[in-house]
């Protein structure tokens, strides 16, 4: 009798998990200027159209790019399905999916761990789609515009910095996990309350990028919470998602 290889076992576990998540998060596609952006949206269990709810926009990492409208749920989405969370924090949660040939942030990658960020990020058509999707959701559903939150991991952390740069007055709070940006944009992104997390053993996106952003935000008098995880590699999002203070911190923020 043949045994399944570890790869096949992991693949089956992912597919099963993805199928369960997909049943909870409704699939949708945003269209703008003949371009499309697939996304998944989770509404409160007892959603009422006449009420306004906080909204969480989550930007995934580069490994979850594509057009299947499922893979973006791989990291972080389970956190918002927790029964206690849904009872205490009825919210709208949105996971867009970045195309395979695109990037959430305007960066140049010189090697496996060398990123160049722009002081004035260039036009980013993928983030333009995200912005259009967000405005459509705000019009379609009841969204408390004083409680719109954005965050992401890795590429999504980089995209979070850039999306706030493009929309400095839109968000009440932002979280960037193992991401980075050009420190000179800090002056323009100081309004939301920030949380920045990174592992000091990250071999994919060096922790120095997050440290530089924290220093720049503090110099610009921004409200920043930050955590450096000793011995943790690129998967520092696991520490964030396991932190019992993360969700209460996020949902306590208001413009």
Domain CATH number, residue 17 = 3.40.50.1820
Identify the pLDDT of residue 114: 77
Least confident of 14-18, 120-124, 144-148, 221-225: 14-18
Q: How confident is the model at residue 5 (pLDDT cuts 50, 70, 90)?
A: very low
Total number of domains in the chain: 1
Whether residue 1 is contained in a domain is answered as: no
Identify the pLDDT of residue 109: 76
Identify the pLDDT of residue 115: 86
155-166 and 125-140 helices, crossing angle to 10°: 70
* pLDDT for 88 beyond 70: yes
CA distance 73 to 96: 9
Average pLDDT of the residues in 17-42: 85
Identify the pLDDT of residue 108: 85
Q: How confident is the model at residue 255 (pLDDT cuts 50, 70, 90)?
A: very high
Q: Residues 147-206: pLDDT tens digits?
A: 999 999 999 999 999 999 999 999 999 999 999 999 999 999 999 999 999 999 999 999
Whether residue 76 is contained in a domain is answered as: yes
Q: Residue 62: give the domain boundaries.
A: 6-251
Q: Which two tokens stand for residue 250?
A: 């996020």
Identify the pLDDT of residue 21: 58
DSSP 109-173: EEETTEEEE-SSPPP-HHHHHHHHHHHHHHHHS-EEEEEEEEEEETHHHHHHHHHHHH-TTT-SE
Q: How confident is the model at residue 10 (pLDDT cuts 50, 70, 90)?
A: very low
* pLDDT for 222 beyond 50: yes
Work out the percent of the chain whose per-residue pLDDT is above 90: 86
* pLDDT for 3 beyond 60: no
The pTM of this model reads: 0.91
Q: How confident is the model at residue 229 (pLDDT cuts 50, 70, 90)?
A: very high
Query: 205, 111 in Cβ contact below 8 A?
Result: no
CA distance 154 to 119: 19
Identify the pLDDT of residue 110: 73
């Amino acid at each position: 009798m043949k045994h399944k290889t570890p790869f096949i076992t992991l693949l089956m576990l992912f597919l099963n998990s993805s199928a369960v998540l997909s049943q909870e998060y409704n699939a949708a596609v945003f269209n703008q200027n003949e371009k499309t952006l697939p996304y998944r949206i989770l509404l409160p269990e007892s959603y009422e159209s006449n009420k306004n709810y906080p909204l969480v926009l989550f930007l995934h990492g580069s490994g979850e790019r594509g057009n299947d409208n499922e893979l973006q749920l791989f990291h972080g989405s389970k956190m918002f399905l927790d029964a206690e969370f849904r009872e205490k924090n009825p919210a709208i949660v949105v996971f867009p999916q970045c195309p395979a040939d695109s990037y959430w942030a305007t960066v140049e990658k010189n090697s496996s761990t060398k990123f160049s960020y722009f002081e004035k990020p260039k036009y980013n058509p993928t983030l333009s789609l995200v912005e259009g999707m967000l405005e459509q959701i705000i019009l379609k559903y009841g969204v408390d515009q004083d409680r719109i939150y954005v965050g992401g991991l890795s590429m999504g952390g980089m995209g979070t910095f850039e999306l706030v740069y493009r929309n400095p007055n839109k968000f009440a709070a932002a979280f960037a996990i193992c991401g980075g940006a050009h420190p000179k944009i800090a002056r323009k992104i100081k309004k939301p309350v920030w949380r920045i997390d990174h592992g000091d053993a990250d071999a994919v996106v060096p922790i120095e990028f997050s440290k530089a952003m924290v220093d720049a935000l503090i110099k610009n008098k921004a409200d920043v919470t930050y955590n450096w995880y000793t011995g943790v590699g690129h998967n520092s999002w696991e520490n964030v998602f396991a932190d019992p203070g993360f969700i209460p911190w996020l949902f306590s923020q208001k413009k």
